[in-house]
Homo-oligomer: A and B are copies of this chain.
Amino acid sequence: MSKPTIPQGTRDFGATELKKRYYLINTIKQVFECYGYTPLETPTMENLSTLTGKYGDEGEKLLYRVLNSGDFLSKTTSENFTDYKKLTPKIAEKGLRYDLTVPFARYVVMHQHELIFPYKRYQIQPVWRADRPQKGRYREFYQCDADVVGTTSLLNEAELTQMYDSVFAQLGLKTLIKINNRKILQAIAHYANAEDSLVSMTIAIDKLDKIGRDGVAKELTQQGFSDQQIEDIFGCIFYADTSNDAANKVQNLGHIELLQQKFADRNIEVGLRGIAEMKTVLHYLESYAFTNILEFDATLARGLGYYTGTIWEVKADEGTLKSSIGGGGRYDDLTSIFGLKNMSGVGISFGLDRIYDILEETNKWQLANQSHVRLIFINFGGDAELTAFQYVAELRQKGIAVELYPEATKMDKQMKYANARQIPLVGFVGEEELKNQQIKVKNMQTGEQQSVSLTDLLGLLTQV
């Protein structure tokens, strides 16, 4: 018999890993709930008619398709077999969830008459992509999104910024929350007389982290930007604060003033709107005590997405993994792909796998690392076993997680199990303890031992 395996790019999660993952997910969920966001779960399989045409040619290739059940060949003719692309729609009508945004849009359209708007939803579910597996990239992985739709108020942007801050504050991870506005990028293209080249400008700027300032200049030149245009763009996106106001410096407020000046000089209306939006968001946040750093960054572009206003990106400020661990933005039009127009919204997402890896590297699991089981009783068999079994039942009825080793095997084997499970206390009910109605408790870390009554043990366990 061949050894069983799991598909490439997928993972089993055992107890140790799940304890940490649940802690991470619950921390984020708690913040979402605290801000009034409510959960949504959509099916693993969606109709392919819902999924296709939404993710571009590259995305389409990565969709997992589910074979129709029964005789899936009944709808095919022999011509279909010459080309797998022609055959696919005949034999597969369903696909696996590829992201959380399209199912969310579909849900909003299907339930538009029952939903209460503004509709604040969060969704934490796995998605599947037939990507080439590599370190840190999986074919099954979780996405974690919070979005509010049906409101254009910038209060939402202020709250979502706080949500980022609050999650990472609770996780004890220092991050840099970068914020920008797509209207500002649009205005910068305008400022450099390159309105029609907004996309190639954005693509080039987006690579700044990887290729540096000179690399961006080279790419812009290759894309046909003149030296003057590049100078104009760089004059807008780069800024060195020489003031002494530490607070302003952190958030780059001087840069915002500079851009406002530039856009006013050339009367670029969209830019002034972008600046006004940014200032409103920051005004809401003025008296909020950030644990993380919020920074205006005019070079933040967030790819080619459908964003139209505020955009965010979060990076860890400790550990060696400098890649993005969160991002989001405002979009004017989420649901028109399904026929419902003018549904503006704004949302953020958390990169769970990457955050997990950083918490692992920087050893930030203090809060997650407690063993659920507080104490295990050694099994001595006979009457002692029965008494221990009754103690265990009583403690559990108080909600305390305890165990009794299920077999009266060698003490050595039982102690090894307690150790391997990292259970902090071991309880002994031997002959003597049975007589005195006592329990001998050993602290596995300090080696200390004491004999206590069941009532005292209860007190001990609710403290630990």
Contacts and interface: CB of A to CB of B under 8 A. Distances in A.
Contact of A12 (B30, B42, B151, B284): B42
23 contacts: A3-B338, A4-B110, A6-B47, A6-B106, A10-B43, A10-B45, A12-B41, A12-B110, A15-B39, A18-B38, A38-B372, A61-B70, A62-B69, A64-B67, A66-B66, A66-B96, A71-B84, A73-B83, A73-B87, A155-B389, A155-B407, A158-B389, A166-B397
Contact of A406 (B12, B148, B166): B148
Interface residues of A, number: 108
Contacts of A30: 399
Given A67-B64, A406-B118, A110 B3 contact: yes
A463 interface: no
A126 B41 CA distance: 12
Contacts of A2: 49
Contact of A45 (B7, B73, B107, B153): B7
Nearest to A376: B36
Contacts of A14: 38, 40, 111
A153 B407 contact: yes
A109 interface: yes
B41 A404 contact: no
Interface string A23-56: 0000000100111101111111111011000000
Interface of A: 1-7, 10-15, 18-19, 22, 30, 33-36, 38-47, 49-50, 61-62, 64-67, 69-74, 76, 78, 81, 83-84, 87-88, 91-94, 96, 106-107, 109-111, 116, 118, 121, 126, 128, 130, 139-140, 148, 151-153, 155-156, 158-159, 162, 166, 283-284, 287-288, 338-339, 372-373, 376, 379, 385-386, 389-390, 393, 396-397, 399-404, 406-407, 417, 420-421
A45 B43 CA distance: 15
A401 to B, nearest CB: 5
Contacts of A283: 386
Nearest to A131: B69
A162 B393 contact: yes
B69 A67 contact: no
Nearest to A109: B4
Nearest to A64: B66
A88 B66 CA distance: 12
Contact of A34 (B33, B47, B50, B399): B399
Given A4-B110, A116-B417, A406-B153, A18 B40 contact: yes
Given A6-B110, A118-B406, A152-B407, 16 more contacts: A1-B338, A3-B110, A4-B50, A6-B43, A6-B46, A6-B47, A7-B45, A13-B41, A15-B121, A67-B88, A72-B84, A81-B81, A148-B406, A153-B407, A166-B396, A287-B390
Contacts of A36: 372-373, 376, 401-403, 421
A420 B12 contact: no
A49 B6 CA distance: 10
Nearest to A111: B14
B401 A35 contact: yes
Contacts of A420: 116
Contacts of A151: 406-407
A47 B7 contact: yes
B69 A130 contact: yes
A56 to B, nearest CB: 16
